[in-house]
Each structure stands twice: as structure tokens, then as C-alpha cells.
Structure 1
Amino acid sequence: MSSSESVAEPELLSRSGYTILATIMGVFSVLGVILNILVIVVTVKHKQLRQPLSYALVNLAVCDLGCAVFGGLPTTVTNAMRYTRLGRVGCVLEGFAVAFFGIASLCTIGVISVERYIVVCYPLGAALFQTRHAIAGVVLSWVWSFVWNTPPLFGWGSYELEGVKTSCAPNWYSRDPGNMSYIVIYFFICFAVPFSIIMVSYTRLLWTLRQVSKLQVAEGSRTHRVEAQVARMVVTMVLAFLVTWLPYAGMALAVIMDSTLRIDPLIATIPVYLAKSSTVYNPVIYVFMNRQFRMYAVPTILCGWNPWASEAQISEGDTMVASMTRIQKVSSKGSLKE
């Protein structure tokens, strides 16, 4: 049965169940739209924020905005209606849009992890992160996502209704050999690769910060504070990534590996909503935890008032680089002991 003929049967969820899902998705979608537009507007408005590291952050905001507009808001409406009237073409377009922006967002998070690793771990080395590298990372995320999400439009793989049948996504359930080959490659290329990059980058970054914390320097207390701050931020980033994306990827992998597995529609909907909730978590974690960005964003939200006006206007990235620079300078003179 095609998506245009498939209608979510009332017994999948009660009326109140669909209403709850519509409310949850509506809240996430509206917040996602507001927060990500704010990120884009504040960055465009303030020249001081247009640094190489900001390119990926703004790109992440654009990706999440696309997910919220083309995925979250339509899903809110279809849940409120208790079924989808998208039709076959509408289902394919929605599934493609959500997958396109979602994978671009995932790849951008991978780019951000590499950026932070380079900036923190090689502040004095040859691996300097410059504007051209930032632009290359942004372009790569879009090209990578486009290349691997367009095959279903031409017959390799497909987009179908998922969960409680109010949204569309890549078809994880079809046992057709062509569809299976696409899904297996898609899973590896679009999730496993970015996931591995993120974990390796942040693991090495945390290891470097741990080594720094062992160095006995005059400014040791400040170094420890910086190390603790960055460690907390990195752990938060990794945990948020795992909570939002790992359940969805795990469910897809389980369905791919076991052809007899049948997941309850409501249970299958939970990982979908967790993944779509990243449109809210991402701007909060990746942008608003940046002190420099917060110094400009908060007055925009509060009509000019900034409760943190007394804080030094430097970003956590600048603090990390400065601390690492001091440590490497001293270390190069041979005055540090591990």
C-alpha cells in the first residue's frame, strides 16, 4: 500500500494521544523556529560574531530551522488531525526535507567537533582553523546530505509513513533488496561516519584537557577551571547527541538486522520525536553556552538589558585557546613536568 493510500487508523492512538503528540511537537517546533532564527539574526547583526567557528554554528541553526519548519510544524498539524493528508508526493517531499536538513545538521555537528578539537588542541600548531576551512565544512555538510538523500527520489530506497503514521521518513522496514542496500549504506554513511568523527574528536579533546590539568603551572587554578568548564560543555554536547540521535539510529539498525522485528507504532514514534527535539537542544548547547554569543543574544531577547554585562566579553573558545597557548609556550621552554 502506498503512502497516499495509507491512513493512520484510529486504534493506533486515542484522540488524547494524538493531541499530546501534537502539543509536544508543537512546543519543540515553535521553540526551534524562534531559537534558530535568533541565532541567525544575532550573528548577522553583530560583526564581532562572524568568526570562522561561527560559520558552522549558523549553519547548524539553518539546518535545525529547516527541520522545524518542514518537519516539526507539518507533523504538529497531522497529529492534531490524527492522520496525514500529504498524499504520496507530499510524503516523499516531507521525508526528503526532514532527512536532508537532519543529516546536514548531523554532519555539521561533526564539523563543529573537529573545529573545537583543532582550536583547543593545536592553538600554536600548523593545523590552524581558518575561514576557508569553515566554509568547506559547511559546504561538505550540505553536499553530503544531498547526495545521500536524493536516491529515494529516483527509485533507490523510498520515503514512507513512520510511527503513528503522521510523518514520513526513509523506509527502514522494506525487505526489497534495493531498498535494503540503500538503507544499510545510508546508515553507515549518514550516521556511523559522523558519529565516529564526533566521538573521536571529543574523546581526544577531553584527553588533551586532562593532560593539561596535570601540568603544574603558576596559573594552575585558572587552568583547572577552564578544563572543568570545557569538559562539562563537551560532556553535555555528547550526551545531547546520544539522547537525540542514538535511539533513532538504534531502532533503524534493529529493524535492518532483524526482518521479523515489529515495533509498536507508539514506541517507534518516541525516537523520531527525540531526534526532532534536537532543533531546540542544538542552539542552546552549541551557541548559548558560548559566552561571547550570549553577551549579544541576551540583550536582543531582553530589549537591551543584559544581566551578565559585567562579564568579560570573551568566548569559551577564546578562553580555551588562550589557556592552551600559555601552557604550550611554557612547555616548549621545558619548565613543565607531567
Structure 2
Amino acid sequence: ARYGLEPSFQSCTIDWRHNDASYKSFTVVYFVLGFLVPACIVVVCYRTSAAHIRVPKPTVVRRTDMNDDFWANQESVTTMVVLIVAAFFAAWTPYAVLCLWAVFGNVASVPHLVAVLPPLFCKTASAINPFIYFFSNPRIRTDIYALLTCRCQAMGRRSCSIEEDYC
């Protein structure tokens, strides 16, 4: 496989338009080991975790405020995990499909917009998770707002260390 400019001319990537045997074999192996296997692992692990979280605990006899907070937090975590998994698939699936299209289809038939958007989606993958954390967890929003506005002292905290609160 060789490298070339992306259709958006922003960076270099594997040149999927040069569709020779080495590109095809590289792409199929990378699709399986770099996308399909990790995606299956993510789905199985998060599904198992979510199922474990949702199983009622027989040791809880009566509802208390602490139990309500615990389960509300578990639902928040489950929502956050679902969003993270969905973001992973939204970011990487279009590019995987584009690469497979180049391997098994006609490279010349790939529209320019379809060639430009998937690499841009991939680039968002590394930046989207912090936004998911921010929007799905009210405590993180409050602490980041306090950190950005230097209001930790006014909140009665001796410092703005997030590690103290979350670790």
C-alpha cells in the first residue's frame, strides 16, 4: 500500500484510489483487526457491563437517597457509554465502508463528497469523547464551569483538583 493526499487535501492517508493487490490485502486485514475485532470487543464488553448494572441487587432492602443517587449515576454512566459506542461507530464506520468500497467496488464510482467526509469523521473520534462526558454528566459540567471561572474558592473548596473528586 502507498500513501497519498486525502481528497480534502488536509493530510496523507493510505491511497485507496491506487487499488492494487497490496492495498486490497492490507485493507481487508486492517478492517478485520483494526475495526471489526475492536468493535465486537467494545459491543460485547459494554453490553455485558450494562446488563450487570441493570440487574437488581437483592441486598437493597429499602430505597434511600444514597441508593437513588447510586442508580441515577448508573443510568447516567450507561447513557454515556451508549453515546461513546455510538460515536465510535459514527466516526469509523463510514471510513471502513469507503475502504471496503475501494477494495470490492469500482474506485472511480466513489463520489467526491463520499471520499471527503469519512476521513473527517475519523478525525472527530479523538475529540468527541470529552464532549460526551461534559454533556452527559452534570457534575463534570459544574466542576468544569467552576474551573474555567476560577470559582473553586467560592464553592468552599481548597483547590480545583478534579482528581480529588473523582479518584
Q: 2:7 aligns with which of 163, 170, 175?
A: 163
**Residue 208 (structure 1) aligned with residue 52 (structure 2):** yes
Q: How does 1:256-335 map to 2 (within 5 A)?
A: 256-259=103-106, 262-286=109-133, 291=139, 295=143, 297-302=144-149, 304-306=150-152, 309=155, 314-315=165-166
* Number of residue pairs matched by the alignment: 157
Q: How does 1:36-51 map to 2 (within 5 A)?
A: none
Q: 2:41 aligns with which of 162, 174, 197?
A: 197
Does the C-alpha gap of structure 1 residues 260 and 158 become closer, same or farther in structure 2, counting only changes over 3 Å? Answer: closer
> TM-score normalized by structure 2?
0.73
Distance 2:97 2:58 in 1: 40
Where does residue 68 of structure 2 map in the other structure?
221
> TM-score normalized by structure 1?
0.40
Identical positions, percent: 28
What amino acid sits opposite 2:71 in the alignment? H
Secondary structure, counterpart of 2:109 in structure 1: coil
> Structure 2: any 5+ residue segments left out of the alignment?
158-163
Q: Deviation of residue 222 (structure 1)?
A: 3.6
- Does the CA-based 8 Å contact 1:248-1:271 persist in structure 2? yes
Q: Deviation of residue 186 (structure 1)?
A: 1.6
How large is the RMSD of aligned CA atoms in angstroms? 3.4
Deviations 1:81-138 (Å, cap 9, x if unpaired)?
xxxxxxxxxxxxxxxxxxxxxxxxxxxxxxxxxxxxxxxxxxxxxxxxxxxxxxxxxx
- Does the CA-based 8 Å contact 2:27-2:100 persist in structure 1? no
What amino acid sits opposite 2:42 in the alignment? I
Q: Deviation of residue 236 (structure 1)?
A: 1.4
Does the C-alpha gap of structure 1 residues 276 and 228 become closer, same or farther in structure 2, counting only changes over 3 Å? Answer: same
Distance 2:155 2:74 in 1: 24
Where does residue 110 of structure 1 map in the other structure?
none
Distance 1:237 1:258 in 2: 31
What amino acid sits opposite 1:184 in the alignment? V
Distance 1:238 1:224 in 2: 21
Where does residue 180 of structure 1 map in the other structure?
24
Q: Deviation of residue 159 (structure 1)?
A: 1.1
